[in-house]
Structure 1
Amino acid sequence: MTGWYPVFIKEMLQFKRKLLRLGYIFSAMMAPIIYLITFGLGLGRTVKLSEGTDYLTFLLPGLVAMSSMNNSYSWVASSLNLSRLYFKTFQVYIQSPIKPFSIMIGEVLAGMVKGVFASLLIIAVGFVVPSKFSINLIFVLTLLLNCFMFACLGVITGMITKSHEDTATYSNFFIMPMAFFSGTFFSVERIPMIFKPVIYIMPLTHTNILIRKTFIDMDGAVSLCVIIFYCVIFFVIGSNLMKKYSE
């Protein structure tokens, strides 16, 4: 079980080098800040929500969910893809006396740290702008589960892609649609009924539902179960891909 630690430390050392560059921090905040200004401070003033919540307060948890998804997923997917196909460092992991299960844990934990860090930047902004944004235990739990879930999905993508360009292709087909149609910028209740079955299959939809809850009701309990289900499925698939790796 301790085999995950060297993998995690290696990823964290790379992350630390990036943190020392101010440009990296600004780039991590750029897209969410643009969305916040455009939708929250601009268009949001004309948006009225049926729940009685101002739009900026509604938007901020969605931006946290989206940012944690993007960063947890992209960090792991890109790192694994590059280490497998270009730097050939992943093969060192496989040949070392570290079990695939431990490699999986190390990569996922590293992705979670990246996702939580990016989310903290948005949370900090959320407490500065004029809104009723707040966090609670459900918010924190949902954030951690979301980071875990998409870090596991990043492992799957990083293991099955055949080139670095394939990583962007998977992001365009799966991550980007979730960012815009899973309740980040508007309530999924406003989506036409014909599209709702597809929307509710997307894991980020349930993150956006749960992260805005102040207590666990029936909808929140269902979303929590769905998120845990995806976490288990993605983790098992990613672990099996590492176990069967023979490249």
Structure 2
Amino acid sequence: MIEKINLNNILFLDIETVPETADFNSLDPEMQNLYEQKTQYQRKEEISAEEFYERAGIWAEFGKIVCISVGFFANKSDIRNFRVTSFFGEEKNILKDFSNLLNNHFNGPQHLLCGHNAKEFDIPFIARRMIINGIAIPDKLNLFGKKPWEIAHLDTLELWKFGDYKHFTSLKLMCKVLGIPSPKGDIDGSQVGHVFYVEKDIDRIVTYCEKDTIAVAQIFLRLRREDLLIEEEIIHV
């Protein structure tokens, strides 16, 4: 029962990704060909791989992480607060800093990671990019040899499915139906690449990522039938 989980033991997270290069022509010819093969069933016939390249950020082989935002409760008795922080900059440094956080502060048997669709996207993406960047995968991300009940991952999308594996509900829709203020600001996921490469506005992306992280925590509270966080309880560090 999720009501029995100590909120202080959960690390909530969200990531933002972009294509690994600014445009399709910046890829070497072999990668261009591989991307064309990878996306042939996702693209309509009239859309070229180059035109489809703005979607490259959804695949770890062709994308990269530009921000990881995390949040955690630091509750004491009846005083509740939720601390949010972000890692951004060079991808390798982002991944190293996130790994250090897991290894040093969220590595106990009681600790859990939680995101929305994190089991399908965020966590595998992070692990794959760590391998690509030559970074050791922290135990909390490494699933090899673990039994299902030993995997310390929570997923608000999975919790909402109640066993219905055909169903997908976006973070925005869940917030709407659960009465949570929408986390979305002036951009959405499809615009992150443009904001990163053209506008070069990483602060805007960080704000967007942190709002999603807070939204995941709010959804988790609603699933436990607890009061939502108010602005005064959220601390950006």
TM-score by length of structure 1 reads 0.32
Q: Which has a greater percent of strand?
A: 2
Q: Which has a greater percent of helix?
A: 1
TM-score by length of structure 2 reads 0.33
